[in-house]
């Protein structure tokens, strides 16, 4: 008798947890926005992404480094023809 009651309570709790977790997942759904060249990104191919302490998102692309402030992109490119340019060794 005790085993049957215990098993019934466990099933009810497990069912409740599954309902809770599925509704929680729906609330935590993430929305993604695709950014490309038409949005100001210097390339559609991003190799690395990082966020600095000020909240800027930095993207390393094949066409240079891009900073995103949440509204617009700013591109930073090296000028290999500049005599002052010295690549890191």
Nearest to 42 by CA among 55, 58, 31, 22: 58
Tens-place pLDDT, residues 18-38: 555 555 555 566 677 888 888
Nearest to 43 by CA among 17, 76, 15, 16: 76
pLDDT of residue 45: 85
pTM surpassing 0.75?
A: no
DSSP label at 42?
Answer: S
pLDDT of residue 81: 75
Place 89 in a pLDDT band, splitting at 50, 70 and 90.
very low
C-alpha dihedral (60, 64, 65, 67), degrees to nearest 10 = -110
Domains of the chain, residue spans: 1-29, 32-89
DSSP label at 70?
Answer: S
Tens-place pLDDT, residues 47-85: 888 999 999 999 888 888 889 998 888 888 877 777 666
């Amino acid at each position: 008798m005790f085993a049957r009651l215990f098993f019934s309570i466990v099933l009810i709790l497990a069912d409740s947890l599954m309902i809770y977790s599925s509704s929680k997942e729906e609330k935590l759904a993430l929305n993604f926005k695709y950014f490309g060249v038409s949005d100001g990104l210097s390339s559609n191919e991003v190799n690395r992404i990082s966020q600095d302490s000020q909240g800027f998102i930095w993207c390393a692309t094949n066409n240079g480094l891009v900073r995103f402030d949440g509204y617009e992109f700013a591109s930073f490119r090296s000028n290999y023809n500049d005599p002052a340019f010295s690549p890191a060794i």
